[in-house]
Amino acid sequence: MQPFKWDAERKMRTGIAEAVYCSGKTVSQIEAILVFHLKQKTAVLLTRLTEATWQQIDSALCEIIDYDAASNTAIYQPNKDKNDTLQQGVLIVAAGTSDMALAQEAARTLNFNGFSAPIISDVGVAGLWRLMDNLEEIRQYALVIAVAGMEGALFSVLAGLIHAPVIALPSAVGYGVSADGQAALQSALASCSPGIVTVNIGNGFGAAVAAIKMMNMQENEQEVSKS
């Protein structure tokens, strides 16, 4: 008996395939899920899969799967053609190098779903010129995911400068009052720059999924004729 219920129709229902949240799952639960997909030859994304857990996974499985320790993600994508082009339009902007793991989680999720995800990093507002020097490039994108910890001032400054919606992705970078990412989250929510939306602290996967849903809006849209 299969120990989990795979939501095979989630993609049909919401536009995004189900991913596997590994935190709290046992090694054998994860292996069963991997085997299920290997047999079916269906692609799967695993998130929050720590290196410690990864090293306990059956090595036969590990060889086939693309694991990235920096972002704690693993990808199995059997039918991917390297010549497939990724859809452009989403940019990830990270305040500091400590935010890169989270930026990577978002980027890997975007890539897995067929979207390009370039990252511009080290543009925290303490050195405003670092942001300004990149502004022209940033303005070329339809949508921006901004990753920041500490006080999260980057969200407000960025949203006041560009047309694109800003998805704030607060990270738990900091200490004292910002140790858990709450200060950055509150800055995203309380911003004086309208047009910022936010996801949970550390939710790189969710930020990417929201971005994909926004990028898919045009396709989904249909004629509506109520006032």
- The answer to whether 225 contacts its own copies (rule: CB under 8 A) is yes
- Residues 143, 66: Cα–Cα separation, whole Å: 27
In whole angstroms, give the CA distance from residue 189 to residue 42: 38
Please tell me the count of residues contacting its own copies according to CB under 8 A: 109
Select the span of 34-42, 58-66, 72-80, 121-129 touching its own copies (CB under 8 A): 121-129
Q: How far is the CB of 125 from its own copies (least distance, A)?
A: 5
Neighbours of 202 (CB within 10 A): 22
Instruction: Kindly give the interhelix angle for 204-215 and 100-112, rounded to the nearest 10 degrees.
Output: 40
Distance in angstroms (rounded) separating the CA atoms of residues 138 and 92: 9
According to DSSP, the residues that pair with 200 across neighbouring strands are none
Closest contact distance (angstroms) between CB of 165 and its own copies is 4
Among 16, 27, 38, 43, binds its own copies (CB under 8 A): 16
Q: Which is nearer to its own copies, 79 or 85 (CB)?
A: 85
| Minimum CB–partner distance for residue 226 and its own copies (Å) | 5
Figure out which of the listed residues 48, 66, 76, 113 binds its own copies, where binding follows CB under 8 A.
48
CA–CA dist 52, 9 (Å, integer): 31
**Binding map of its own copies across residues 201-220, x = CB under 8 A, - = no contact:** xxx-xx--xx-xxxxxxx-x
Q: Is 42 an interacting residue with respect to its own copies (CB under 8 A)?
A: no
